[in-house]
């Protein structure tokens, strides 16, 4: 029983990381149909922001707290820059966007190598987040994992509230549901697109800050995570956050269970097969707003 | 909207059905293609071996293997619109099948490959290695195994109309899963190192430059054969259908075809080509490893195709060779610069020159011809009507 709950928590914490990364993707992919492969490098930018801030502010707790908004803005600004310079021109060709942003991600990785060096760097975690909490029943839970879970939870809540309540959120939802109708209703869709890209990329920055608690920071840290996150979006369906949330945790738990029963590598293959099987059942993803359109 | 408006007009006035190809077309096309093939064969079989040193020739052999993968991607992506970011998987399946056979042949009958003894986890050859001892199993497997995997994945995915970016991501995830699996099963797959140090190729010593030359000739010949196959597939009726599926899948469905099958054929053929390329890559280079087949190499296969011109026959080949050559030339001396350049290539070519370098030539040619060809769907409809009449 203890083992079971422990594994469940491992799965949930893997899911929380996936969720943080996939939220931003779901937003940009859902609204604009844009596959941003450089999203992984925005994660990296967030992580390096934390690292740089810790060089300036040595108190680990404070630097982490300050890093959260700063990384959001840094990664968000990078996203907006990318949108203005390249993606804007490619809305009609989503597959090509994928390749173009892959090129951008190569450039950003090399930039990180040239600035910070190719070896990984490490941040110090604040003392509060290094220990474990013992729960009744002999279960121990790592503090940093708990923090990431809380962070992912608050990101979901904040995003949901923002989408439901604020005027910007209303506009975003309108554009997702029907871009043309939103445009003729007087919504400046290009400006909404840009804001969406800012928020989505900013969330990647926050994910980057969270990842500094789990491991080293390196130029290629984003590449390994991005595919799993994309799978979450594909399976979760676009246009609604709840699909992303459910699938992120489901994949996390599946991964952890598979890893526990077999090995990491077999678990990855199992997850892939499960996804293909799932798409047989619901090719459009778990929840989706739009019906399959006739192209 | 315009096409919908045009339909009734076309139906009411079927009289001036333009010939599907210019009258002098087929023979002229065939003549030109034959001349092109002869020129390519002369270049590959006569000029290159005379001009290039043994070292350069073996490098060229490696590039030509990449070019074979590119021919397949040109078919699946350029013609069929399926952006496959996982061709490394099929390249790897072919490569590993060949390498397993060659390793077993090197070790001699009844012996285990050297790396298995090194890791020392196994007492005897694992069951799934055993069939690869026979060349009659291993050689067909280099092509059929990738095709089978592509068939299973493709028929599951295309039938459920998973396409576009969704398909691209799935194909990439397949590459990721395959690499992790290979690395994880180190005892039986060689892990990160892969299968290395392959000495012999069906009784020929691969260290001998003469035999390396032979391998080069096999590769060059295979590439030409694959080009001929790709040309045939794109020129025949199926090729037009494939392009139609790329441009408007739903309309093709409404015309009574099954787009899933059309796409599946191109995807499976592309996988077979990649498998063959992997199989020939092994004797040419002497190694196959996860680093050669993962996400990054898989996407690098695609960039060569994009640079050359995805929807053309020769574009993918020339683009792939050019990109791999540039990487070898630059990455040794300026590794950082090459990464920037590669990134820029992706951005500039795909964003601003989606037809690749071939489109620069294509633009000039269209201006010479003057008359634009009728749209593809229109041509298909006309042809179907001819068939019915």
pLDDT, residue A282, reads 82
* Vertex A158 angle, CA A157 and A160, to 5°: 65
Q: Which of B168, B170, B340 is opposite residue A95, by nearest beta carbon? A: B168
The dihedral region occupied by B298, where left means phi > 0, alpha psi between -120 and 50, and beta the remainder, is: alpha
What is the distance between the alpha carbons of residues B238 and B232, in angstroms, rounded to a whole number?
9
What is the distance between the alpha carbons of residues A203 and A152, in angstroms, rounded to a whole number?
10
pLDDT, residue B149, reads 95
Chain A: give the shortest CA distance to residue B287, in Å: 22
pLDDT, residue B198, reads 86
Q: What is the ipTM of this complex?
A: 0.86
Assess A294–B contact: CB distance below 8 Å, yes or no.
yes
Closest CA to B175 of B157, B159, B153, B196: B153
pLDDT, tens only, A200-221: 999 999 999 999 988 889 998 8
Assess A232–B contact: CB distance below 8 Å, yes or no.
no
pLDDT, residue A202, reads 95
- Per the CB < 8 Å rule, is B160 touching A86? no
Q: Contacts of residue B351 in chain A, CB cutoff 8 Å?
A: 86, 89-90, 96, 100
Q: Which of B164, B184, B339 is opposite residue A94, by nearest beta carbon? A: B164
What is the distance between the alpha carbons of residues B259 and A74, in angstroms, rounded to a whole number?
44
Residue with token string 């923002």 = A162
Computed on alpha carbons and rounded to an integer, the radius of gyration of chain A in Å comes to: 19
pLDDT, residue B17, reads 44
Assess A106–B contact: CB distance below 8 Å, yes or no.
yes
Position A104 confidence tier, pLDDT thresholds 50, 70, 90:
very high
- Per the CB < 8 Å rule, is B350 touching A100? yes
Assess A103–B contact: CB distance below 8 Å, yes or no.
yes
- Nearest chain A alpha carbon to B161: A283
- Per the CB < 8 Å rule, is B184 touching A263? yes
- Per the CB < 8 Å rule, is B336 touching A98? no
- Nearest chain A alpha carbon to B344: A103
Q: Which of B83, B184, B339 is opposite residue A106, by nearest beta carbon? A: B339
pLDDT, residue B11, reads 41
Any idea of the CA torsion for B158, B162, B165, B170, to the nearest 10 degrees?
A: -80
Six token digits for residue A72:
């959001």
What is the distance between the alpha carbons of residues B228 and A109, in angstroms, rounded to a whole number?
39
Task: Report the percent of chain A where pLDDT is more than 70.
Answer: 96
pLDDT, residue B363, reads 52
Q: Where are the domains of chain B?
A: 50-292
Mean pLDDT of A17-46: 89
B195, β-bridge pairs: B288
- Per the CB < 8 Å rule, is B346 touching A106? yes
Question: What residues contact residue B337 under an 8 Å CB cut-off, 6+ apart?
Answer: B330
Q: What is the pLDDT along chain B (389 residues), one digit of tens a residue?
A: 334 444 443 444 444 444 444 444 556 777 877 888 888 888 888 888 888 888 889 899 999 999 999 999 999 999 999 999 999 999 999 999 999 999 888 888 777 888 887 776 677 888 888 889 889 999 999 999 999 999 999 998 998 888 888 899 889 889 988 998 898 888 888 888 888 888 888 888 888 888 888 999 999 999 999 999 999 999 899 999 999 999 999 999 999 999 999 999 999 999 999 999 999 999 999 899 999 998 889 988 998 999 888 888 888 999 999 999 888 888 878 878 888 988 998 898 888 888 888 777 765 454 444 444 445 555 555 555 555 44
pLDDT, residue B389, reads 42
pLDDT, residue B239, reads 92
> What phi and psi, each to the nearest 5 degrees, are found at residue B372?
-75, 145
Interface test with A, best of B89, B155, B172, B176 (most A CBs within 10 A): B176
Interface test with A, best of B248, B347, B359, B377 (most A CBs within 10 A): B347
Q: Contacts of residue B173 in chain A, CB cutoff 8 Å?
A: 227, 230-231, 272, 275
Residue pair B319/B357 in contact (Cβ under 8 Å)? The answer is yes
């Amino acid at each position: 029983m203890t083992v079971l709950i422990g594994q469940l928590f491992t799965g949930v914490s893997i899911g929380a990381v996936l969720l943080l990364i996939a939220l931003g993707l779901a937003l940009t992919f859902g609204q604009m149909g844009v596959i941003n492969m450089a999203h992984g490098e925005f994660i990296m930018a967030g992580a390096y922001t934390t690292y740089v801030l810790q060089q300036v502010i040595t108190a680990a707790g404070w630097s982490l707290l300050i890093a959260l908004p700063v990384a959001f803005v840094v990664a968000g600004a990078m996203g907006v820059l990318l949108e203005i310079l390249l993606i804007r021109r490619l809305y009609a060709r989503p597959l090509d966007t994928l390749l173009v942003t892959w090129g951008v991600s190569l450039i950003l990785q090399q930039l990180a190598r040239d600035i910070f060096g190719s070896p990984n760097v490490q941040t110090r975690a604040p003392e509060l987040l290094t220990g474990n909490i013992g729960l009744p029943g002999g279960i121990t839970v790592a503090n940093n994992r708990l923090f990431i879970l809380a962070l992912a939870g608050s990101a979901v809540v904040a995003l949901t509230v923002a989408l439901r309540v604020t005027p910007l959120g209303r506009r975003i939802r309108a554009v997702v549901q029907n871009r043309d109708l939103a445009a003729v209703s007087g919504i400046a869709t290009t400006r909404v697109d840009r804001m969406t890209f800012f928020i989505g990329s900013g969330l990647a920055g926050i994910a980057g800050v969270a990842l500094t608690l789990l491991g080293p920071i390196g130029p290629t840290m984003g590449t390994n995570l991005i595919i799993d996150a994309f799978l979450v979006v594909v399976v979760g369906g676009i246009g609604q956050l709840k699909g992303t949330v459910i699938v992120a945790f489901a994949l996390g738990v599946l991964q952890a269970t598979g890893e526990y029963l077999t090995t990491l590598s077999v678990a990855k293959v199992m997850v892939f097969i499960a996804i293909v099987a799932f798409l047989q059942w619901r090719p459009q993803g778990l929840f989706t707003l739009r019906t399959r359109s006739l192209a | 909207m315009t096409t919908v408006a045009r339909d009734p007009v076309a139906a009411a006035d079927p009289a001036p059905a333009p010939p599907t190809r210019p009258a002098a077309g087929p023979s002229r096309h065939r003549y030109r293609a034959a001349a092109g093939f002869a020129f390519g064969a002369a270049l590959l079989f006569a000029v290159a071996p005379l001009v290039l040193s043994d070292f350069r020739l073996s490098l060229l052999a490696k590039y030509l293997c990449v070019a074979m993968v590119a021919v397949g991607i040109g078919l699946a992506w350029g013609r069929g619109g399926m952006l496959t970011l996982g061709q490394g998987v099929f390249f790897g399946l072919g490569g590993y099948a060949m390498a397993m056979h060659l390793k077993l042949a090197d070790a001699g009958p009844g012996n285990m490959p050297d790396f298995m003894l090194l890791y020392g986890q196994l007492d005897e050859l694992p069951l799934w290695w055993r069939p690869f001892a026979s060349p009659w199993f291993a050689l067909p497997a280099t092509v059929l195994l990738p095709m089978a995997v592509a068939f299973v994945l493709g028929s599951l995915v295309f039938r459920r109309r998973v396409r576009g970016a969704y398909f691209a991501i799935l194909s990439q995830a397949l590459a990721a899963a395959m690499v992790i699996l290979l690395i994880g099963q180190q005892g039986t797959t060689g892990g990160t190192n892969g299968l290395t140090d392959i000495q012999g190729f069906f009784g020929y010593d691969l260290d001998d430059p003469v035999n390396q030359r032979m391998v080069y000739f096999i590769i060059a010949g295979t590439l030409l054969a694959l080009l001929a196959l790709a040309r045939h597939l794109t020129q025949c009726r199926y090729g037009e259908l494939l392009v139609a599926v790329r441009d408007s899948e739903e309309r093709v469905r409404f015309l009574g075809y099954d787009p899933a099958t059309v796409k599946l054929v191109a995807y499976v053929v592309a996988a077979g080509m990649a498998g063959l390329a992997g199989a020939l890559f092994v004797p040419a280079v002497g190694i196959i490893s996860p680093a050669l087949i993962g996400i990054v190499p898989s996407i690098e296969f695609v960039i060569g195709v994009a640079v050359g011109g995805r929807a053309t026959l020769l574009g993918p080949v020339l683009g792939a060779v050019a990109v791999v050559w540039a990487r070898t030339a630059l990455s040794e001396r300026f590794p950082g610069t090459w990464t920037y350049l590669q990134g820029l290539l992706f951005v500039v070519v795909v964003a601003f020159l989606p037809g690749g370098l071939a489109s620069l030539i294509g633009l000039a040619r269209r201006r010479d011809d003057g008359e634009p060809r009728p749209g593809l769907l229109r041509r298909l409809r006309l042809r179907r009507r001819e068939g019915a009449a």
